[in-house]
Chains A and B, each alone.
Chain A
Amino acid sequence: MLKVEETQPVEFSPALKAKFAEISSRYPEGKQKSALLPILHEVQAELGWLSANAMDQVAAWLKIEPIEVYEVASFYSMYFLRPQGKYVLEVCRTGPCCLVGAEKVMAHIEHKLGVKENEVTADGLFSWRGVECLAACGFGPVLQIGPEYTFYENLDEQKVDTLLEELRKK
């Protein structure tokens, strides 16, 4: 469900708007709504999540109704409709990864971070969640971290510890 959060007004930078324009030029005249998914990725990469204000701005830019943006943002699993940790650890929880230990890795992450799935750590650094097959099943267990979606493969508890330490130091 779409939960509309109170947020600050959003103003897109000229650089971001230039990016929107470049994306929109990929489609035939009159079909600029096709730019919606890629534009939402750009906005989320910049803001960390999609607030109602941000979505309204996207609607205004694309000259479509806000509901057309909300219904898309709420359909697709990659768009965050509420604030997340700086690093969102998305662990594959689907069958093939479970055959090689994904459930253990998720339990370990929950234990190490001390927060449940979809919750943010007190320092605002991390949140985590289980996601469906990431097309890396032969190299599982695997997790990804946006917005560039870097992959971490063949995970075990130790590798998770090392990764968390590295991210904390960044």
Chain B
Amino acid sequence: MARKLLLEHINVPGINTLDVYRQKGGYRSVEKALKTLSPDDVVEEVKKSGLRGRGGAGFPTGMKWSFLAKPEGVARYLVCNADESEPGTFKDRYLMTHIPHALIEGMIVSSYALGAKTSYIYVRGEMMPQIRILEKAIAEAKNAGFLGKNILGSGYDLELYVQPGGGAYICGEETALLESLEGKRGNPRIKPPFPAIAGLYGCPTVVNNVESIAAVVPIINDGGEEYAKVGIGRSTGTKLISASGNLVRPGVYEIELGLPVEEFIYSDEYCGGIANGKRLKATVAGGSSVPVLPANLTLKLANGDPRLMSYESLSEGGFATGTMMGSGGFIAFDEDQCIVRNTWNFSRFYHHESCGQCSPCREGTGWMEKVLHRIEHGHGKMSDIDLLVDVSKKIEGNTICPLGDAAAWPVASAIRHFRDEFEWHVREPQKSQQTNYGIARYAEPIVSGLKQEN
């Protein structure tokens, strides 16, 4: 069994309550940090751990923390990003539902490290049940003296609040999130200044993902060096992977970074293979924003070596033959799925979620949706395919926030790897309405060792 640092006690009855959570060693990191470590010591341990942000960008958490400005007499804030709206991602909801205290504990230690006296957990509004769960957990923690004034006699004060969003994917982008938390529309801000200098209410602010903050707990308990021993290379620690699509056992899995992708998909410890005895056609390995990969490039690098679940290995080959870790939303497509239809669906999503501030994103996402809609519904022209590539290129890199790129990459990669299928939709408008293209031809040669054993 692989090491579990976040979900070890997930199946313990009552682990959502403070009592059971503490029986399992909960809140040790708060005692350790507040009684024996200075805030800078905590930052140092997080640096040593090599932890990289789990919200999507993978930026080293310790480094981000050390950028926080500390002007005299100005409040500093820690804001937890629990907006989780990236299609294919559902790990944060899972963690908050089952082990809410892991997040609260992480928030206390992280707030202490950053010198924040008030911290917020911004939860997407649809997660009302999780908001209630967190509020209850906060009340329990406060009762036990882990929150409020003079925590554990250390002289450190902290108030922690849960803030609901209003239903908008863009509010996962950290500056849009801050706007939303200030009671405004979720329009991303132009950077710089970065939140570390001017964030919430113009004050220095750190925004971190739920999983990043929960990971601070084992880092402080065991030490940053111990944490860094788990994983592979610069991909240290464990990662929660949300597995969805045509899998035997979709769900949330904690993996040690470096696990072979093939083992993740096919072994019984994880997803148990492709559902209904079908073959794997493609995957989107890190949430809807990252490039789609055909089955052969999912399982193996271009040079034939196995591909691993790590930041480096998933992006090996760049966008020509690789993808990205993203938020760890792993979506599997079986041989019956239509790449054109899914690409259209994702485009519709990004068009719907564009905040509308920049014209390349606002207009480009709408245009891509429209063109993909006509190809999928049998009215496409051959020139539409290059038109899509052209539009995606014009969005990429020309927008205020990365949503533009996130909308462009899935389209560009789908055409890069599955152009045959797009062309077939144009050539066979009737047939493409009745049947699917099936598995991509280059997916055939993969002979999976694990698959044969099973």
Asked if residues B349 and A31 are in contact (CB atoms below 8 Å), the reply is: no
**With contacts A96-B87, A96-B244, A138-B90 known, is A132 near B169, CB below 8 A?**
yes
Specify which of B86, B168, B346 is in contact with A77 (CB 8 Å cutoff): B168
Asked if residues A135 and B124 are in contact (CB atoms below 8 Å), the reply is: yes
Is B182 close to A, CB under 8 A?
yes
**With contacts A37-B163, A138-B250 known, is A133 near B128, CB below 8 A?**
no
Stretch in A11-19, A120-128, A139-147, A155-163 touching the partner: A139-147
Asked if residues A37 and B333 are in contact (CB atoms below 8 Å), the reply is: no
Is A4 close to B, CB under 8 A?
no
Specify which of A35, A41, A140 is in contact with B183 (CB 8 Å cutoff): A35
Asked if residues A34 and B182 are in contact (CB atoms below 8 Å), the reply is: yes
Q: How far is the CA of A147 from the CA of B167 in the complex (A)?
A: 13
List residues of chain B with CB within 8 A of the CB of A61: none
Is A57 close to B, CB under 8 A?
no
Asked if residues B345 and A28 are in contact (CB atoms below 8 Å), the reply is: no
Those of B164-184 within 8 Å (CB) of chain A: 164-169, 180-184
Asked if residues B166 and A136 are in contact (CB atoms below 8 Å), the reply is: no
Is B416 close to A, CB under 8 A?
no
Asked if residues B244 and A138 are in contact (CB atoms below 8 Å), the reply is: yes
List residues of chain B with CB within 8 A of the CB of A147: 128
Is A8 close to B, CB under 8 A?
no
Those of A72-113 within 8 Å (CB) of chain B: 72, 75-79, 93-96, 98-100
Q: How far is the CA of A41 from the CA of B127 in the complex (A)?
A: 12
Closest to B89 in A: A135
Q: How far is the CA of A134 from the CA of B169 in the complex (A)?
A: 10
Q: How far is the CA of A146 from the CA of B89 in the complex (A)?
A: 21
Is B252 close to A, CB under 8 A?
yes
Is A116 close to B, CB under 8 A?
no
Asked if residues A98 and B345 are in contact (CB atoms below 8 Å), the reply is: yes
Q: How far is the CA of A98 from the CA of B245 in the complex (A)?
A: 9
Asked if residues B167 and A76 are in contact (CB atoms below 8 Å), the reply is: yes
Q: How far is the CB of B164 from chain A (nearest CB, A)?
A: 5
Asked if residues A37 and B166 are in contact (CB atoms below 8 Å), the reply is: yes
**With contacts A37-B163, A99-B333 known, is A135 near B92, CB below 8 A?**
yes
Q: How far is the CA of A138 from the CA of B270 in the complex (A)?
A: 13
Bits for A39-75, please: 1 = Cβ < 8 Å to B, else 0.
0110000000000000000000000000010011001
Those of B72-115 within 8 Å (CB) of chain A: 75, 84-90, 92-93
Q: How far is the CA of A38 from the CA of B180 in the complex (A)?
A: 11
Asked if residues A99 and B244 are in contact (CB atoms below 8 Å), the reply is: yes
Q: How far is the CB of A135 from chain B (nearest CB, A)?
A: 4
Specify which of B125, B184, B252 is in contact with A138 (CB 8 Å cutoff): B252
Those of B231-246 within 8 Å (CB) of chain A: 242-246
Q: How far is the CB of B440 from chain A (nearest CB, A)?
A: 16
List residues of chain A with CB within 8 A of the CB of B126: 78, 131, 134-135, 144, 149
Specify which of B87, B165, B168, B184 is in contact with A95 (CB 8 Å cutoff): B87
- The SS class assigned to the B binding surface is mixed
Is B186 close to A, CB under 8 A?
yes
Those of B143-197 within 8 Å (CB) of chain A: 159, 161, 163-169, 180-186
**With contacts A76-B167, A77-B166 known, is A135 near B85, CB below 8 A?**
yes
List residues of chain A with CB within 8 A of the CB of B165: 37, 76
Is B331 close to A, CB under 8 A?
yes
Closest to A74 in B: B185
Is B413 close to A, CB under 8 A?
no
Asked if residues A137 and B349 are in contact (CB atoms below 8 Å), the reply is: no
Asked if residues A38 and B163 are in contact (CB atoms below 8 Å), the reply is: yes
Q: How far is the CA of A87 from the CA of B246 in the complex (A)?
A: 30
Q: How far is the CB of B147 from chain A (nearest CB, A)?
A: 13
Specify which of B85, B118, B166, B242 is in contact with A40 (CB 8 Å cutoff): B166
Asked if residues B129 and A137 are in contact (CB atoms below 8 Å), the reply is: no
Q: How far is the CB of A19 from chain B (nearest CB, A)?
A: 13
Asked if residues A133 and B85 are in contact (CB atoms below 8 Å), the reply is: yes
Asked if residues B161 and A99 are in contact (CB atoms below 8 Å), the reply is: no
**With contacts A76-B125, A135-B84 known, is A95 near B349, CB below 8 A?**
yes
Asked if residues B128 and A71 are in contact (CB atoms below 8 Å), the reply is: no
Q: How far is the CA of A41 from the CA of B352 in the complex (A)?
A: 22
Q: How far is the CA of A99 from the CA of B246 in the complex (A)?
A: 7
List residues of chain B with CB within 8 A of the CB of A68: 183-184
Instruction: Point out which of A26, A41, A133 has the most chain B C-beta atoms below 10 A from its C-beta.
Output: A133
Instruction: Point out which of B125, B164, B168, B246 has the most chain A C-beta atoms below 10 A from its C-beta.
Output: B125
Q: How far is the CA of A35 from the CA of B245 in the complex (A)?
A: 37
Closest to B346 in A: A95
Closest to B410 in A: A95
Closest to A78 in B: B167
Top 3 A-B pairs, shortest CB-CB distance? A76-B166, A78-B167, A36-B183
- Chosen A-B contacts, 25 in total, with CB atoms closer than 8 Å, are A33-B183, A34-B181, A37-B164, A37-B165, A37-B183, A41-B166, A68-B183, A75-B166, A75-B168, A77-B166, A79-B166, A95-B87, A95-B288, A95-B342, A98-B341, A99-B331, A133-B288, A135-B85, A136-B90, A138-B242, A138-B243, A138-B244, A148-B128, A149-B126, A149-B127
* Given A38-B163, A147-B128, A151-B129, 8 other A-B residues pairs in contact with their CB atoms under 8 A: A41-B166, A72-B185, A76-B165, A93-B345, A95-B88, A131-B126, A135-B89, A135-B92
